């Protein structure tokens, strides 16, 4: 477990540079989750470290395989200085712990809900899990372990989350793209959903 997390941290540092802050959160019955903060000009990125220590297990499986199964870490990027986004550390750690706590498999296209604003004043309490590979490349592990995928999280307003449940992740992403939505704006409003 520690060896995998050391490799994951090295991959994050290679892709994002040195973190300027880190915080650790431990939930009862789960492994410790860390959240690292990276500043890149006017963008702040928060990345989890700890979620990939164990593979995510199919919630219908009788026994969880300790080696095989998808592994991931979460990354969220926001514009700096517009909101107190450092408060996202705890909600992000909660999302990273959800495979251990709730037995969910976090994958692209999924919605994750935290039940409260991601940070003070945020119009978002849920995120859309986007496709990996753009910001941080997958980390290959020795077989039979699956690679660690670094999954970007895109904050969704309540209206967007409801629309996504009906229309799907692809249509929501196309809507954001066609309207030139700045998904890094920590205070943005909902995209028009007419």
Instruction: Say what the pLDDT of residue 137 is.
Output: 94
CA–CA–CA angle 177, 99, 43 (5° rounding): 40
Domain count, the chain: 1
Q: Specify whether the CB–CB gap between 81 and 185 falls below 8 A.
A: no
Write out the H or E segment, with its range, that includes residue 158: helix 158-167
Task: Specify whether the CB–CB gap between 88 and 100 falls below 8 A.
Answer: no
CA 48, CA 12: separation in Å to the nearest integer?
Answer: 10
193 found inside a domain = no
For residue 133, tell me if it sits in a domain: yes
Q: Give pLDDT, residue 194.
A: 76
Q: Is residue 183 part of a domain?
A: no
Given a cut of 70, the residues of the chain with pLDDT beneath it are: 1, 59-65
- Asked whether residue 118 is assigned to any structural domain, the reply reads yes
Amino acid 1: pLDDT: 60
């Amino acid at each position: 477990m520690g060896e995998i997390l050391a490799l994951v941290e090295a991959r994050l540092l290679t892709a994002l540079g040195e973190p300027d802050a880190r915080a650790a959160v431990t939930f009862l019955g789960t492994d410790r989750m860390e959240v690292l903060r990276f500043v890149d000009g006017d963008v702040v990125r928060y990345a989890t470290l700890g979620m990939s220590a164990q593979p995510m297990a199919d919630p219908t499986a009788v026994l969880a395989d300790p080696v095989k199964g998808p592994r991931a870490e979460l990354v969220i990027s926001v514009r700096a200085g517009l909101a107190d986004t450092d408060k996202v550390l705890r909600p992000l750690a909660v999302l990273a712990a959800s495979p251990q706590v709730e037995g969910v498999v976090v994958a692209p296209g999924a919605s994750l809900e935290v039940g409260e604003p991601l940070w003070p004043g945020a119009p978002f309490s849920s995120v859309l899990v986007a496709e990996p590979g753009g910001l941080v490349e997958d980390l290959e592990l020795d077989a039979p372990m699956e690679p660690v995928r670094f999954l970007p999280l895109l904050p969704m307003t309540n209206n967007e989350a409801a629309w996504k449940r009906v229309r799907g992740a692809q249509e929501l992403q196309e809507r954001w793209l066609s309207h030139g939505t700045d998904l890094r704006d920590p205070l943005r409003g909902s995209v028009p959903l007419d």
